[in-house]
Structures are given as C-alpha cells and as structure tokens.
Amino acid sequence: MEGLSIDYIDSTCEDVYVTYTPSYLVKNYTYQILKNNELTYTSENLTDIASITFDKTGTYIIEITNNYYDGTSDTLKSGEYKIDKEPPIINVKDNTYKIKKNEKLNIDIKATDMVDGDLTSKITSNIDSIDFKSEGIKKVEYSVSDAASNTTTKTIYVTVTKDYSTLIKVGQFGILISLLVVILFLIRYIRSLKLEKRFSKFTINSSKTRSSSLLDILHKDYLDFIGKISKILSKSAVLKKHSKRYDKISLTLCNGEDSMNFISRKIVVGVLFILFTVLVGFINSRIVGVIEILISFIIGFLTLDIIYRYKYIRYKKKIEKDLLEAITLMNNGFKAGMSIMQVVSLVSLELKGPIAKEFEKIELEITLGLDIEVAFKRFAKRVKSEEAIYLASSLSVLNKTGGNIIEVFNSIEKNMFARRKLNNELKSLTSSSRLVMYVLMFIPIIFVVFINIINKDYFEPLLTNKIGIIIILLMIIIYTTYIIVVRKVLNVRRLK
C-alpha cells in the first residue's frame, strides 16, 4: 500500500510498528484498525504522519480514507499483520515416570497452539540421546515452536530402576511349585484316609493307642507356635495392657484363654496379609512397596478385631434371646421343688448354645465353692446384658433378704416377657426406616463401584486434583455425618 512503511506481516511474536505518510495531494485522512475482523479503533482527521503499534496477539488490518484537495476521496486497505505472542502448550499426563532398565519409555504427549492449532508433530526432544540402560534419574526435555517462533519447553524426569522381572519369574515359579507340592500332598493324604477307612473294618486297634489326624497335628503345632509368640510378647507392658481388652472375649468365646494369644493371632494374620500382598505383586510382575506392606499388615492386624467383635455381638444377642427361656425353665423347676443348683443344672442340660455353656460355667463355679450370688454376678459381668444383670441383682436381693423365690421369678419372667414384647414392637415400628437408612447408606458405595467398573478413569480428576481431593474429603464427612445422625434418630433406647 502506498505510504505504509510495512504492507503486511505473515506471523511474528515481536511488536510491529507501522507508519503511514500521506501524499502531498491529501488534505486530511482517517484510519481504522480491525482486530480479528472487528473494529477496535478509529482516528480523527489527520494531516501528519501516523505511527501505529501492534503489541498484542491478533490479526490486524488498517483501512485508510484519504480526502484530497480537489474534493475527491478514496479508501486504502492494508494487508494482514499477524501477531502471535502466545506460546504453545505442551500437555503431558505426569511430570515423573518410573521405568525399568532397557524398558521402552512411552509418554503420551501433545502440543497445541492458540493460532496454529495442533503442533504435536513438531515436538522435538533429547530422548534419543538418553541412556535408559543405566539406573538413575534421567531428564527428558520436549520442545515445540509455533510459526511465530514462540517456544515452549517441558521437562520430564524419568527414574530408571533395576529390572526385577527375572526375580519375579523365579518367585512365581517357586510359588507354582509349592502349590503343586501342597496339592499332591493333600491328594496323597486323602487317598491314605480312604485306604485307612477301607481297611479299618478288617483291623483291631488297641484301646490304649490313639492316632491323631493331620489337622489335629497342624492345630496343635499352631497353638504351640501362638503360645511361643505370646510368651515373647508378654514381656512388653504396652502389649500386656492392650491384651486386657480381650478379657471379655476370652471369658465368653474361648473358655478363659490367655488374652495375649489374641495379640499373637493378630500379628500372625498381619504377616499372612503381607505374604498375600507380596504374592499378588509377584503374580502381577511388580515389587511391593513399603507403604503397601504397612497397609497390608494394619488391615490384617485389625481384621481379627472385626471378627471377634462380630462373634461377641452374636454371642451376646443369642444369650439375650435364650435367657427368657432359661428363666422360664428355672421358674418351672422352682415350682417343682428344685433347688437353685438343680435348676442351673437343668438349664445347662435342656437348652443348647451359648446359654447352656454359661450355665455350665455357673454350675461349675458353684460346685467349686463360689456363692450363687457371686457366680451369677460373674455371669452378668461376662455377658454384660441388661437381663443378666437384672437376674443377678434379683438373686442377690433374695440371698440377702430372703423371700418367696417362685413369686420373684414369676415377676422376673413377666417383666422380661413384657420388655421383650415392647422391644420387638419398637423394632417392627422402625424397621421400614432402618431399611431406608441401609439402602441410602449402600447406594453411594454401589454407585461408585459400578461407575468405576464401567469407566476406570471417571473419578481420576477427583484423585489427581487438590480441589477434587477436598471434594472427596467433604463427601466423606457429609456421608459419615449422615450415617451418625440417622442412626441416632432411629436408635430407640430400650427400657431399663
């Protein structure tokens, strides 16, 4: 264009300075600047040289209207001035990678530019000059430039570790051989049992000799092993204090077994969980980390707590359920003229399950010299049930003040029956609400598992972003608060 110092620019990242010198025939002129085909500036009537600066990204066009002395005018239009100051963007999933020696590095990397679009094919790197056969941290640099010479560089750190594939294969082979040996041993043992069963009818065994089965031998060895561990752990005052928590479980479920054995079992289960984790790692051809081992041990160590608590709750509920039947049986025995010792023996013989075992213990304690009051108090302490405490308290009052035991037990039976009936009615009234609570509790978990099965990357933005992690923590807090509040609302206190 006549009079413009620069007619057009294809693409540049530098500032562009344009001057317009009007002809001597021009009386005055105006110019307009269009950025990306949109009007952004209009000048006033000018007579002197105009200087225009473009310093921001965009495509610019200048339109000049000249007014001549003879009264005529014309319009001039410049070429395009393409200014690109925005560097390309290199997108990569992670900034750090971990590979084994001689393993091929696969990095999903892309480059885009606001003006030029996809520049992935123009990415250059120093990956060919890096030695991935040696261990250490390698620095891989990726670079890309757009048409305006804007350049972006991305650095990726790659940690090269030892190749444990041979060791893993040997471990997998050893595990396979061990499993085959165990299977063959079990097959041989089962065949020997079948042969023993076939020939047992043709042989006579001495009454003084008794052979132990393999399971009996293994169980005995296991108990001996637990006992040795408990003997070592009992030297620790902290663990000894911690073992006191299992006294009630020992008294009810394990016939007074040493509480330290529970700690030993938890440690053994934790070690088994570690071995299982290592086995899974071998199967998946990878080395298990320290954090994974620690988490596996903690999960195994706490698993027995859940099992023991579940068994103790079931044991307690079973006793609470059968205690009314035991009291009815005792009351009938008193009406028939039996003594307390006889009715206790009657309950242990007629009933089954945990309540029969507890009354066997009461009978044994009374036989060994304990008072009836003390024996039933020990029973209430073991079970920690309201009905058991009520029964023990009633017998204690009877033992101290005297009275008609038949009338007292009639009253106990009627009260317990009324309490049982009322508690069942309360449960039936709140059953629908509890069902809704359980459904609402498990639907989010089922939903998350189902979505994760369909699309494993669906929740990845939440797990790889700080805001996402905060959202997850808030969801967990809200979910936990909901469960606590709903359980408090639906928890109808039993009558005492």
Q: What confidence tens digit (pLDDT) does each residue in 407-458 have?
A: 777 887 888 888 878 877 877 777 777 787 778 788 888 888 888 777 777 7
pLDDT band at 202 (very low <50, low <70, confident <90, very high): low
The rounded distance, in Å, linking the Cα atoms of 331 and 433 is: 38
What's the whole-number mean pLDDT along residues 68-82? 87
pLDDT band at 132 (very low <50, low <70, confident <90, very high): confident
DSSP 245: G
Residue 354 has which token pair? 């945990």
pLDDT at 210 over 60: no
Residue type at 10 in one-letter notation: D
The pLDDT score that the predictor gives to residue 496 is 44
What's the whole-number mean pLDDT along residues 11-32? 87
The rounded distance, in Å, linking the Cα atoms of 328 and 320 is: 13
Residue 385 has which token pair? 């049930």
* Spatial contact of 132 and 102, defined as CB atoms under 8 Å apart: yes
Residue 17 has which token pair? 């300075």
pLDDT at 200 over 80: no
pTM: 0.51
The pLDDT score that the predictor gives to residue 2 is 54
pLDDT at 208 over 70: no
Residue 214 has which token pair? 């393999």
Considering the chain, what is the average pLDDT of its residues?
Answer: 80
What's the whole-number mean pLDDT along residues 463-468? 78
Q: Which of 145-149, 179-183, 424-428 has the highest average model confidence (pLDDT)?
A: 145-149
Q: Is pLDDT larger for residue 230 or for residue 201?
A: 230
Is domain 9-83 classified as CATH 2.60.120?
no
Q: Is pLDDT larger for residue 303 or for residue 165?
A: 303
pLDDT band at 495 (very low <50, low <70, confident <90, very high): very low
What's the whole-number mean pLDDT along residues 25-34? 90
pLDDT at 491 over 70: no
pLDDT band at 401 (very low <50, low <70, confident <90, very high): confident
What's the whole-number mean pLDDT along residues 16-31? 88
Architecture of domain 89-163: Sandwich (2.60)
Contact partners, residue 306, CB within 8 Å, separation at least 6: none
Q: Tokens 């679009």 appear where?
A: 117
pLDDT at 233 over 50: yes
Lowest mean pLDDT among 31-40, 347-356, 431-440: 431-440
pLDDT at 8 over 80: no
pLDDT band at 205 (very low <50, low <70, confident <90, very high): low
pLDDT band at 92 (very low <50, low <70, confident <90, very high): confident
* Spatial contact of 351 and 359, defined as CB atoms under 8 Å apart: yes
Instruction: Single out the residue of 286, 289, 277, 288 nearest to residue 99, CA to CA.
Output: 286
The rounded distance, in Å, linking the Cα atoms of 418 and 387 is: 12
Strand partners, 76: 64
